[in-house]
């Protein structure tokens, strides 16, 4: 091996950090910065929290400055799922299907007490937290949550997106670990 090849090999070995090289870590930083400010949101609104979500979308709080104002009404064009309001067991398979149809990488925001934990509805019809159906990245509690809390949750999600590493498989996360706990009963 000549001296130039040996020197290049040493330089490349010096830049490597585990399985990641300097080039791939810089590329991850650029991709994550772009993802952080260009989230395509899909609002899954079911109850009274939807009114508060609409106020956050309005001009006073302006979600557009965070890069996720324009909603996508097709899950195939979205990478951020806003689950807003109470989720019943009848809606759970629909929510799971919407999540499965979303593009990778995808993130989920649970908006409101009913979405996070079932809220005041501890009965047979209400899902006690959507984390039993799909993985959740950020929980925004409140009944309904204040717009400032929603913006704080969105900023926390952006910080999480900025720090993420792209896995070698290219998939953001697997959902096979979370089987749908809903069994449809036939109507007599």
CA atoms lying within 13 Å on the CB side of residue 106:
23
Number of H helices, E strands in the chain: 6, 4
Cα–Cα nearest to 150, from 38, 52, 36, 58: 52
Output the pTM of the full model: 0.73
For tokens 């990245």, what's the residue? 137
Cα atoms found within 13 Å of the Cα of residue 126, Cβ hemisphere only:
17
**Residues 115, 86: contact at Cβ < 8 Å?**
yes
pLDDT tens digits along 114-166: 888 888 888 888 888 898 899 998 999 888 888 888 888 888 888 888 887 76
Please measure the distance between the N-terminal and C-terminal CA atoms of the chain and give it in whole angstroms: 80
Question: Domain locations in the chain?
Answer: 40-163
Q: Which fold has domain 40-163?
A: Rossmann fold (3.40.50)
Q: Is the pLDDT of residue 28 over 70?
A: yes
pLDDT bracket for residue 183 (50, 70, 90) = very low
Q: What is the pLDDT of residues 45-86, one digit of tens each?
A: 888 878 888 888 878 887 777 777 677 788 888 888 989 989
């Amino acid at each position: 091996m000549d001296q130039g090849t040996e020197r290049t090999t040493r330089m490349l070995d010096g830049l490597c950090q585990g399985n990641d090289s300097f080039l791939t870590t810089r590329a991850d930083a650029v991709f994550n910065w772009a993802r952080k400010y260009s989230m395509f949101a899909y609002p899954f609104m079911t109850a009274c929290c939807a009114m508060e979500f609409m106020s956050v979308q309005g001009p006073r709080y302006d979600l557009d400055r965070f890069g996720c104002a324009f909603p996508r009404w097709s899950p195939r064009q979205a990478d951020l799922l806003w689950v807003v309001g109470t989720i019943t067991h009848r809606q759970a398979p629909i929510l799971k299907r919407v999540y499965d149809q979303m593009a990778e990488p995808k993130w989920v925001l649970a908006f409101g007490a009913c979405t996070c934990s079932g809220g005041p509805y501890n009965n047979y019809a209400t899902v006690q937290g959507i984390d039993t159906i799909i993985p959740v990245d950020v929980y925004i509690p409140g009944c309904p949550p204040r717009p400032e809390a929603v913006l704080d949750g969105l900023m926390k999600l952006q910080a999480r997106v900025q720090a993420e590493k792209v896995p070698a498989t290219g998939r953001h996360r697997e959902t096979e670990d979370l089987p749908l706990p809903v069994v449809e009963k036939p109507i007599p």
